[in-house]
Amino acid sequence: MKFQKMLHGMIRAGFLAGTVLLLGGCASLPPTPLSATEQARLQGAWERHAELVRAIPDWECFGRAAIRAGDNGGSVNLNWKQTGTVSDVHLSAPLNQGTVELLGKPDLMVITDSAGHQRYTTDPAETVYQLTGWRIPITALPNWIRGLPNDNTAHYTWDEHGRLATLTDGAWSITYEQYEFIDQRVFLPTKLTLEHGDIRLRLAVERWRLTSDRKKTPS
């Protein structure tokens, strides 16, 4: 109970002014039908882009996350480090109001608060929901935050460069608003919005750090 109050209070105490700034958006025009030639061009561009992104399994990003669920909302600083399938996520509220770390794989994570209290879970998304009252797609975010579908049944549209513009993956809808060319290697999202029911999660990535490609062991 103590852990739950601390985690929920930490996120709620996040600067709401930042939430308003992050949650601001703009309307977009409906897409126009693509010719067969343009469809083929974008398909090829998407496949090349996705291959480049997937070739970098180890990465780290720093930024902010703002969430609103109904009348509740808050904002936290985000540091996400991914090493293969292992996620190490640090959430910290401003003014030293608390931190939370999530560490592990999709099927087993440990959640640690700033006081050192730990909770192990085989369902990170459900556990975060129990602790905060908010549905946050923890296991899908490593793909979504890089501009990749998490499920092969997902539906998506491309921008003019063959990168994801919109994505419907499971019950979530994601809009990609901005990409940046990182380390002269690959374009990655820096602004995206995730929506599910009355939940709206806005991510603003301020910095990406990419590792070198993993070296293969000689046979």
More confident residue, 39 or 14: 39
Q: Quick one: pLDDT at residue 215?
A: 47
CA atoms within 13 A on the CB side of 127: 18
For β-strands 199-210 and 186-196, DSSP reports them as antiparallel
CA atoms within 13 A on the CB side of 126: 7
Contact between residue 174 and residue 192 where contact means Cβ atoms under 8 Å apart: yes
Kindly indicate the confidence band of residue 8, based on its pLDDT and cuts at 50, 70 and 90: low
pLDDT tens for each residue of 67-81: 888 888 888 899 999
**CA separation for the pair 214, 74 (Å, rounded):** 37
Domain topology for 2-23+39-210: outer membrane lipoprotein receptor (LolB), chain A (2.50.20)
Mean pLDDT of 43-71: 94
Residue with tokens 């126009």: 32
Q: What percent of the chain has pLDDT over 90?
A: 56
Mean pLDDT of 207-218: 67
Q: Quick one: pLDDT at residue 23?
A: 38
Q: What is the pTM of this model?
A: 0.81
Q: Which residues pair with 215 in a beta bridge?
A: none
To the nearest whole number, what is the mean pLDDT of the chain?
A: 83
pLDDT tens for each residue of 148-176: 999 999 999 999 999 999 999 999 999 99
